[in-house]
């Protein structure tokens, strides 16, 4: 299957390259430039094919030709949670992260054996379910903040349906105030709420993040991120930040140095 996908991607690149080379040849012939025409014919195929391969994820036709596969359930617990995740992906979308981002949340949470995770912006609970997949293994808990009563109701329903309500505590209200209740040490913070509020969340939570802890901030490309937040996480000598998934919504991945 993987070999077939790669061959299809390669073939698509060749087709685009041949078409572009033919167009360049025709244009050059009209202008009388035989050398340019030959160059286009010789170089157009590999150059453009390589370009197509490098940008496959941006093309609607080639977007499905990814090396990633659908999530696989290890046991009945994961099967139940992934089932609810799949239902959310097919249903109404309440400002949730893409599946790729959700899978990363699970991976990083489990990789650092996080015990204390804070999320700003519960939405319908989609990202919380990905966190729960990891926290079941690490023995940790998610504290997720949400101001919208309707989203809280939906998230609670989804958490109960997935059987993860014991792993997650929803904290209602304005997160700019409710985050002050955390004492720490926090292993991981995920910010996905009001974009202008990111610097305030960082200022209030960073002192409570343990050395070596992680701060993730969603929407670093679209919608436009807070310039103050980007400045804060990229200029502090106490932090190390890289940016992920910038072909889509984007995410800032920051660690608090030890």
- Residues 167-188 have pLDDT tens digits of 999 999 999 999 999 998 999 9
Q: Average of pLDDT values for 194-217?
A: 98
Instruction: Quote the CA–CA distance of 179 and 102 in Å, as a whole number.
Output: 22
Q: Average of pLDDT values for 108-137?
A: 98
SS3 144: strand
Instruction: Quote the CA–CA distance of 216 and 198 in Å, as a whole number.
Output: 11
Q: Average of pLDDT values for 44-59?
A: 44
Lowest mean pLDDT among 71-85, 90-104, 236-250: 90-104
Tokens at 10, concatenated? 């390669």
Residue 65 confidence class, pLDDT cut points 50, 70, 90? low
Query: Taking the model in full, what pTM does it have?
Result: 0.76
Q: Average of pLDDT values for 22-33?
A: 46
Whether pLDDT at 39 is above 50 = no
Cα distances (angstroms) measured from residue 166 to each of 61, 79, 92, 220: 42, 17, 25, 31
């Amino acid at each position: 299957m993987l070999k077939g996908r790669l061959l299809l991607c390669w073939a698509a690149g060749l087709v685009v390259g041949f078409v572009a080379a033919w167009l360049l040849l025709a244009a050059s012939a009209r202008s009388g430039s035989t050398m340019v025409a030959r160059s286009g014919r010789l170089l157009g195929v590999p150059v453009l094919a390589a370009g197509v391969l490098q940008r496959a994820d941006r093309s609607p036709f080639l977007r499905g030709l990814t090396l990633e596969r659908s999530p696989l359930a290890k046991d009945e617990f994961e099967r139940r949670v992934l089932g609810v995740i799949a239902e959310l992906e097919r249903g109404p979308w309440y400002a949730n992260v893409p599946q790729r981002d959700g899978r990363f949340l699970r991976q990083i949470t489990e990789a650092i054996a996080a015990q204390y995770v804070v999320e700003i912006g519960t939405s319908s609970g989609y990202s919380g379910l990905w966190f729960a997949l990891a926290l079941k293994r690490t023995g940790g808990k998610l504290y997720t903040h949400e101001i919208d009563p309707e989203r809280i109701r939906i998230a609670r329903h989804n958490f109960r349906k997935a059987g993860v309500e014991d792993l997650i505590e929803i904290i209602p209200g304005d997160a700019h105030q409710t985050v002050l209740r955390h004492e720490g040490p926090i292993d991981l913070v995920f910010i996905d709420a009001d974009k202008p509020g990111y610097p305030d969340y960082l200022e209030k939570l960073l002192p409570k993040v343990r050395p070596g802890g992680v701060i993730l901030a969603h929407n670093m490309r679209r919608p436009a991120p807070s310039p103050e937040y980007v400045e804060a996480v990229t200029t502090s000598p106490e932090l190390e930040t890289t940016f992920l998934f910038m072909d889509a919504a984007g995410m800032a991945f920051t660690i608090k140095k030890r």
